[in-house]
Structures are given as C-alpha cells and as structure tokens.
Amino acid sequence: MGHDRKASVAVVGGGIGGLAAAAFLHRAGLDAMVYEQTPRLGDVGAGLIVAPNAARLLRRLPSAVTLERVGVVLEAGWEFRRWADGTVLFAQQLGEDCARRYGEHTWTAHRADLLEVLRSAVGDEAIELGRRCTGVTQDHGGATLTFAAGEPVRADVVVGADGIHSVLRGQVTTASVPRESGLCAWRSLVPAGAAPAFARRPVQVLWLGHRHHLVHYPVSAGRLVNIVAFSPARPGEVESWSAAGRQEDLAAEFAGWDPRLGQLIAAAGRVGRWSVLDRAPLPRWVNGRVALLGDAAHPMLPFFAQGAGQAVEDAAALAACLSAEPGDPGRALARYERIRAPRATRVQEASRGRIAHHHLADGPEQRARDAAFAAEDPLSHNDWIYAYDAEQAVRTELSLLCSEALIAAGGQVRLVGHSRTAHSTRTNHDHGESGFGRARQVRSTCRMRAG
Ligand SMILES: Cc1cc2nc3c(=O)[nH]c(=O)nc-3n(C[C@H](O)[C@H](O)[C@H](O)COP(=O)(O)OP(=O)(O)OC[C@H]3O[C@@H](n4cnc5c(N)ncnc54)[C@H](O)[C@@H]3O)c2cc1C
C-alpha cells in the first residue's frame, strides 16, 4: 500500500471542529491536513451563536475572512419570552456589557460564513475534498487512514472531527447509544426584508411554551433571520441536517402562539426538519494517536448553543497540547482529553437539563421557573461558559505540572542538603549539582511549554 502524503496531523472532517483544528494547528506551527467527504464545504447548516468563549479563540486566528465581516454582534441574548403574548421573562444585555465582562462580544453567524472564517485561516492547499475516510490503523510509528477513494494517508496524529455519526469514534471507544430526546428540530432562514421588524433586532429571542420552543436571531451581517424551533418528534423522524420539512407543518406546531411568530413562520421558505438525538458522554476521546473532537466526541443538544463553541475550544486546546509536546503525541493527546472531557461533558449535561425547563405547561412549575428567571442576574448566569479560555486552561495545566516537577526537582536538592553530613563531599556535590541541573532544565522546558 503506497502512502502518498505525510501529514503530521490528519484531520478527518471539514466541519467547524475539523477546520478549527487545522487552523489552530497551523497557527501553532504544526503541519495539518483536512480530509472532508463532501465535494464542497459548507453545503448544509443555518445560524449559530458564537459566544465569547468561542469568539475570543476565533479572533486569535489569522483569518482573511473575519467574524466582523460576516457576523452580527448581539445586543441581547437569551431573551426568553412567554409563548402567548411575548412577555419578556429574562434577557442578557450583551453589547458593551458583554465586551467589558468577557473581553469579547457574543456574535451570530451563518454556519457557511463561519466555515469561511476558518477556511481562510487554513488555506485551500491544506484541505482535500471528496475524501470519505473508511478507517484508521495505528502502529508504533504513526497512524494510517484509508479512504473510499484515493490513496491512504500516513500521519503522526489523527483527529476524528467527523461529526455526530463519526466513523473514527469506533476506533477510540465504544459508541455511546443515542438517547431519544423526543424532540424534532426545525430550521429556516428568512430574508431580512420579509421578516417582521422584531425579528431583525440583533437579539437572540427564545419563545417558550408547552413542549415547544422557537429561537430566532439575525445572521449573515443582518441579511437573514435564522429560525430554529423544537416540537415533539414523530415516529420515523431522521437525524440529518439536510432532511426537509414543510412550512405549513411548522406553522401548525406554533398555531395559537403570539401572532408575531405566525408572521415570522409565514415568511419561512425552505424548512429543514429532523429528529434530535442525544448521546451520553463518551468514556474516552483518545486512543493512542487518534483523538476525537467536536460532535464526534461530545454531540450535545443545542440548548446552550455551544456545540460549535465547544468544538472550537477543543481545537484550540488540542493545538496547544500538541505544540507543547511535539515529540510525544500520546502524552499530548492524553492531556487534551484530561482537560477537555470534563468541560465539554458539563456543557453536554447542562444542555440536556434544559429540555424540561424550556417546555413546561402553564401552571405552578412554569410560574416558579419564570419567578426564578426574574430573580437572576442574567449575565453572570453564563459566566462559567463565557469566561473560559481554552488556551489559558492548557497553559494553567502545564504550569501546574511544571510547578510539581520543579518541587520534585527542588526536593531532591533539599534531600541532598540534609544528608550532606552523612556522605562524602564529592557525592553530595554531585547529587546537589544534578538536582539544581534538573530544576534548571525543568524550569526552561516549562517556560517553553507554558509560554
Ligand atoms: C438545531 C441546532 C442548532 C445549533 N445551534 C448552535 C449554536 O447556536 N451554537 C453552537 O455553537 N452550536 C450549535 N449547534 C451545534 C453545532 O452545529 C455542532 O456542534 C457543530 O456543527 C459540530 O461541528 P463538528 O465539526 O464537530 O461536526 P460537523 O459540523 O457535523 O462536521 C463534521 C464533518 O465531517 C465530515 N465527515 C463525516 N464523516 C466523514 C468521513 N467518514 N470522512 C470524511 N469526512 C467526514 C462531514 O461531512 C462534516 O463536514 C447546533 C446544532 C443544532 C442541531
């Protein structure tokens, strides 16, 4: 079997996670290639919220297409409204408050635009399209990917960023069983000119009602309004971004709600519809030289709007781990898993917890929820998500390890000092020197890794 290419890191999947991984790896000076199964990037998808935790990472990339050019800065987010009359239950004032608190805005973007931001940081020469990966094998010296068409690829490290139906997941861990969320998702993009004025505001609005909720916000520099809605699933619903639905069925699900929603739905053209499956957190993300990233590692319900954001965090952390330990990919990937899995799992579980919360029937529980909304400080509500810096998290972990190593090295020196009287001067001098030498060496390695 001939190997036509040697990439240091081979990334399977050219979605947000895969392109982000390549972009951060390139920024760290590492060689990475992306292998995407589709013949074109960005064919499917709609709007995404890009929260500060993802935006601050994206804006560190040397992208020719920027978030400023394609995105919309939100003035308010998580503006929860009552289904029947639009009463506002809760709203985060974002804009300058968000920038002051987190050093970054909350943006919205069309998925295709976000892919362009990432593609412009990666470069077309590092992306091979029409390359459906069929499997991976690994040995002591590297990993080999096979494809439905084209030559195999040999790499030092393989990143499985191949989405919720990941092929590579089976090489790393036992696939987690899909859990029925019982929900169907609807998506549509409405030209801004056809949308009612309230939906053109730079605000992420969520209308909550019994077993349903509907979200809307502008995307594509305000040219489109993104709609995503949730209703009970029907038997036989498929899990796919490209499955089609009917505008009249979406309208029927929200019949009787605030009439402004009826106007917005009436303006919807093409409607996507699919079953939302949920998956339990995976026990492992890494096996030797193969690591999972994004939805392949942690598919999550979209109720914190964080799936893509967590994929971007994974990408930044992976690059930081690999660049700190280029000679030992196994250790670097183990560190990546250790840092990322608890964080993404927390977001995954929190997202799941929102189904019941969003879909209460009118009654005592719904009134208690709305009272709790009213009592909260809306912005600090999401501090744990928005304030997080994935690159800083890796630096912190590396400095902790370095401190421990320094203490260990220093401890050896102290021990020698203590025992000086019991040994000959020469022996103690030799141990002392090697202890100081070790501490000096650890310190300089640590400076290099954490810097
Ligand atoms: C309704 C809904 C709303 C959402 N809203 C938000 C939001 O507001 N904010 C947010 O951050 N996230 C949101 N998400 C989640 C977000 O869209 C996903 O988490 C994110 O797109 C995952 O990116 P990924 O790169 O891991 O996977 P994907 O985007 O699925 O990309 C995987 C890529 O791998 C390719 N691929 C698959 N198999 C192979 C193979 N064998 N060989 C080669 N290539 C392969 C695919 O073609 C695809 O391009 C939402 C999701 C849904 C369903």
The predicted structure's pLDDT at residue 333: 96
User: Mutation test of ligand 1: which of 162, 228, 231, 314 has the most ligand atoms closer than 8 Å to its C-beta?
Assistant: 162
Residue located nearest, by CA, to atom 4 of ligand 1: 302
* Residue 102 to residue 59: CA distance in whole angstroms: 14
Residue 287 has pLDDT above 70, yes or no: yes
270: CA distance to ligand 1 center in Å?
20
212: CA distance to ligand 1 center in Å?
23
User: Mutation test of ligand 1: which of 35, 37, 114, 166 has the most ligand atoms closer than 8 Å to its C-beta?
Assistant: 37
Angle at which helices 16-27 and 307-324 pack, to 10 degrees? 30
pLDDT tens digits, one per residue of 104-152: 999 999 999 999 999 999 999 999 999 999 999 999 889 999 999 999 9
Residue located nearest, by CA, to atom 9 of ligand 1: 305
The predicted structure's pLDDT at residue 54: 98
* Residue 408 to residue 411: CA distance in whole angstroms: 5
295: CA distance to ligand 1 center in Å?
6
The predicted structure's pLDDT at residue 322: 95
Residue 388 has pLDDT above 60, yes or no: yes
277: CA distance to ligand 1 center in Å?
13
- Structure tokens belonging to residue 432: 């002392």
Amino acid identity of residue 214, one-letter, is L
Asked if 16 contacts 114 with a C-beta cutoff of 8 angstroms, the reply is yes
Residue located nearest, by CA, to atom 27 of ligand 1: 163
User: Mutation test of ligand 1: which of 44, 295, 304 has the most ligand atoms closer than 8 Å to its C-beta?
Assistant: 295
Asked: is 6-72+105-178+280-359 a CATH 3.50.50.60 domain? The reply is yes
192: CA distance to ligand 1 center in Å?
25
Average pLDDT, the chain: 87
Q: What angle do CA 36, 41, 42 make, to 5 degrees?
A: 130
Amino acid identity of residue 63, one-letter, is S
Q: Considering only 77-81, 391-395, 402-406, which range has the smallest mean pLDDT?
A: 402-406
In ligand 1, the atom with minimum distance to the C-alpha of 132 is 42
Give the residue-averaged pLDDT of 281-291: 94
Stronger pLDDT, 107 or 400, i.e. the higher one: 107
Amino acid identity of residue 247, one-letter, is Q
Helix (H) or strand (E) holding 53, with range, is helix 52-58
Residue 351 has pLDDT above 80, yes or no: yes
Asked if 336 contacts 321 with a C-beta cutoff of 8 angstroms, the reply is yes
In ligand 1, the atom with minimum distance to the C-alpha of 162 is 34
Work out the pLDDT band at 418, boundaries 50, 70, 90: very low
* Residue 84 to residue 107: CA distance in whole angstroms: 28
pLDDT tens digits, one per residue of 221-253: 999 999 999 999 887 666 666 678 899 999 999
Angle at which helices 111-122 and 16-27 pack, to 10 degrees? 30
In ligand 1, the atom with minimum distance to the C-alpha of 19 is 25
Residue located nearest, by CA, to atom 48 of ligand 1: 15
Residues with CB under 6 A from ligand 1: 12-18, 35-38, 48-49, 131-133, 161-164, 167, 185, 187, 228, 294-296, 302, 305-309, 311
Give the residue-averaged pLDDT of 380-396: 94
Give the residue-averaged pLDDT of 265-282: 88
Describe the strand order of the beta sheet including 88-93 as a list of residue ranges: 88-93, 76-82, 203-209, 212-219, 224-232, 178-191, 271-279, 244-245
- Structure tokens belonging to residue 1: 């079997």
In ligand 1, the atom with minimum distance to the C-alpha of 17 is 25
DSSP-derived letter for residue 359 is T
Work out the pLDDT band at 423, boundaries 50, 70, 90: very low
The predicted structure's pLDDT at residue 236: 67
Domain ranges for the chain: 6-72+105-178+280-359, 395-450
* Residue 102 to residue 381: CA distance in whole angstroms: 13
pLDDT tens digits, one per residue of 303-334: 999 999 999 999 999 999 999 988 899 999 99
* Residue 39 to residue 43: CA distance in whole angstroms: 9
In ligand 1, the atom with minimum distance to the C-alpha of 167 is 41
Max mean pLDDT among 105-114, 375-384, 425-434 falls in 105-114
Active-site pick, 35, 217, 336, 386: 217
Q: Are strands 224-232 and 244-245 parallel, antiparallel or unpaired?
A: unpaired
Torsions phi, psi for 141 (to 5 deg): -95, -10
* Residue 72 to residue 59: CA distance in whole angstroms: 14
Residue 447 has pLDDT above 80, yes or no: no
DSSP string of 175-225?
A: PPPEEEEEEEEEEEEEEGGGS-HHHHSSEEEEEEETTEEEEEEEEGGGTEE
156: CA distance to ligand 1 center in Å?
25
* Secondary structure E strands in 348-432: none
What is the widest separation between alpha-carbon atoms in the chain? 91
Give percent above pLDDT 90 in the chain: 70
Tokens 């949308």 appear where? 195
Asked if 292 contacts 286 with a C-beta cutoff of 8 angstroms, the reply is yes
16: CA distance to ligand 1 center in Å?
6
CB burial string 393-412: b at 16+ within 10 A, e below: bbeebbbebbeebbeebbeb
DSSP, collapsed to helix, strand or coil, labels residue 422 as helix
Residue 1 has pLDDT above 60, yes or no: no
Q: HSE (CB half, 13 Å, CA atoms) of 137?
A: 5
217 belongs to the catalytic site: yes
Counting other chains too, the contacts that 164-170 makes at CB distance below 8 Å and 24 or more residues apart are 164/239, 164/277, 164/279, 164/295, 164/296, 164/299, 166/292, 166/295, 166/296, 167/12, 167/133, 167/134, 167/135, 168/12, 168/133, 168/136, 168/290, 168/292, 168/296, 169/282, 169/292, 169/296, 169/297
| Neighbouring residues of 425: CB distance < 8 A, sequence distance ≥ 6 | none
Stronger pLDDT, 212 or 43, i.e. the higher one: 212
pLDDT tens digits, one per residue of 84-112: 999 999 999 998 889 999 999 999 999 99
In ligand 1, the atom with minimum distance to the C-alpha of 54 is 11
315: CA distance to ligand 1 center in Å?
14
